[in-house]
Amino acid sequence: MNAGRMTAAGGVRDASAAGAIEDIRGKVAAGRRIDRDEAMRLLHHPDLPALGAMADAVRLRHWPDPVVTYVIGRNLNYTNVCWVKCKFCAFYRPPGSDEGYTLTRDEIAAKIQELVDLGGREVLFQGGLNPALKLDYYLETFRWIKETWDVHIHGLSPTEIIYIAHISSLPLDRCLGMLRDAGLDTVPGAGGEILVDRVRRILAPGKDMADEWIGFMRTAHQIGIRTSSTMMYGSVETLEERVEHLDRLRSLQDETGGFNSFIPWSFQPELTEMKEIRKASAFDYLRTLAVARIYLDNIRSFQASWVTQGPKIAQVSLRFGVNDFGSTVIEENVVSAAGTTFSMDIAGMERLIRDAGFEPILRDTNYRILGPYRLPRRIHATEGAAMVSGSAAIAAAAAAHPAHPATPVN
């Protein structure tokens, strides 16, 4: 217990005993890409401060200013009717269920008006695969929303749109074009799960397989609809399959550049049909996030997952590659249906950002910086991980919104 014993032999060692990753560090520091094998090595490497520092360096290249962004938005879960029966989902009700609902126009109007009154513009319009709702429902609803309010529709999901195209007997690009023309601005990257068919067959055999999901994203990007990308890890996938997922996203991004952001979150086993799976830990989240940030060097924005990780780890994620706290979602039904109930208001969110050494700043759905947030009242918000995502670009709309002049940061 003497004070001077820290000069023990080996005292000059400047790395943890956790094994060498110096070659990968060198690559990352030089701004070079890592390959799959290197990603696997990092996913086995336990030295969190080292991984976090590498991810932070990549983040700095994309976001040189010490800011953390967020957007004011609300979830609009227009229907919970869905026939797909994903095993990880606690939100859906099958067609014919007494507990199924579809929001009326009055209900939708009240929700959007509440958002607009609070100074928000992002409507996250998501639901299920409800066979009663055809393409016209979406076209009419979107046109009506855009005619009535100056909002950004961040809506649907690949699975929903593939389904809508299918039941309308339309090619995907045509269907997407019609939705875009009706007012769909950007599409969340929901349903990415893990882009490996083995995993998708176990989790959601009724949904699109990996090629179909990627194909959807390619088509959307090609016709000018920007999207986010996601990863739901911690279910039945292997680490190799996580890397395969990241690689598919990186390859497509090289091709199209249409992903605004990436949002990883952990599978939430409670209340799903797969309760026996142990919930992924905070350690796993931070390591997976850091490796993703390093691997996906071509996706600019990384978003925290409040709902699945809680405020403490969400804040720590700001030093593991995250530059965005997502949306202060006024309502989030899907993840909370699976039993996770972290909530956060704007004041609390801004405090966490400042406490981490960053300045909180409002963005639009396209990650254009709007400015500091000022509002008379606190918004009770539940931050939706999965559902909330960075999204597509309407610079023009942002610029047209005089209260929030759009000044892209870089």
The contact set with another protein (CB under 8 A) reads 1-8, 10-18, 25, 29, 46-50, 52-53, 56-57, 66, 278, 281-284, 286, 309-316, 318-319, 348, 351-352, 355-358
Q: Smallest distance from the beta carbon of 42 to another protein, in angstroms?
A: 13
Q: Which of 377, 376, 367, 373 is CA-nearest to residue 408?
A: 367
Q: Smallest distance from the beta carbon of 286 to another protein, in angstroms?
A: 6
Give the DSSP per-residue string, 13-70: --S-SS---HHHHHHHHTTPPP-HHHHHHHHT---HHHHHHHHHHHHHHH--SSEEEE
Q: Which residue has the tokens 């006024």?
A: 330
* Closest to another protein by CB, 34 or 123: 34
Q: Smallest distance from the beta carbon of 211 to another protein, in angstroms?
A: 33
* Closest to another protein by CB, 1 or 403: 1
CA distance 410 to 407: 9
* Closest to another protein by CB, 20 or 132: 20
- CB 376, CB 402: distance < 8 Å: no
* Closest to another protein by CB, 120 or 321: 321
Q: Is 7 exposed, middle or buried (0-12, 13-18, 19+ CB in 10 A)?
A: exposed
Q: Smallest distance from the beta carbon of 283 to another protein, in angstroms?
A: 5
Q: Where are the alpha helices (DSSP H) in 129-209?
A: 135-148, 158-167, 172-182, 197-203
Half-sphere exposure for 68 (CA within 13 Å, toward CB): 30
Q: Smallest distance from the beta carbon of 30 to another protein, in angstroms?
A: 11
Q: Smallest distance from the beta carbon of 396 to another protein, in angstroms?
A: 35
3-state secondary structure of 174: helix
- CB 304, CB 317: distance < 8 Å: yes
* Closest to another protein by CB, 50 or 406: 50
Q: Smallest distance from the beta carbon of 5 to another protein, in angstroms?
A: 8
* Closest to another protein by CB, 16 or 251: 16
* Closest to another protein by CB, 358 or 367: 358
- CB 183, CB 145: distance < 8 Å: yes
CA distance 339 to 310: 13
